[in-house]
Amino acid sequence: MWSSISGSLSINSFHDMLSQMKAILSKEAELANFISEKLESIALKANNSSNLNEAELKSALNNDLLKLRQSLNAERKKIMQLELAILEEI
């Protein structure tokens, strides 16, 4: 696969493409760490919230999960933009 791609790209654009791919992988790693940290935080909140009644806890956790979802969607859009930049190079 790489040989067919590299054969159709100039040296500069091939190196640019590799650089962009590394950026995507780095961003995906950051996103994975972000997800892990946020889920751990939400789990800790659920386990350590004895001062909240069930309805308050449910509401607080729901809000946290909605914020997480919004953040994930925004980050995914950024990754998609990086991926589109690679496709434009090919």
Quick check: pTM over 0.85?
Answer: no
Q: 90 near 5, Cβ under 8 Å?
A: yes
pLDDT attached to residue 16: 80
In this predicted model, what pLDDT tens digit does every residue of 35-69 receive, in sequence order? 999 999 999 988 887 787 889 888 989 999 999 99
Dig out the tokens for 75 from the structure.
């980050």
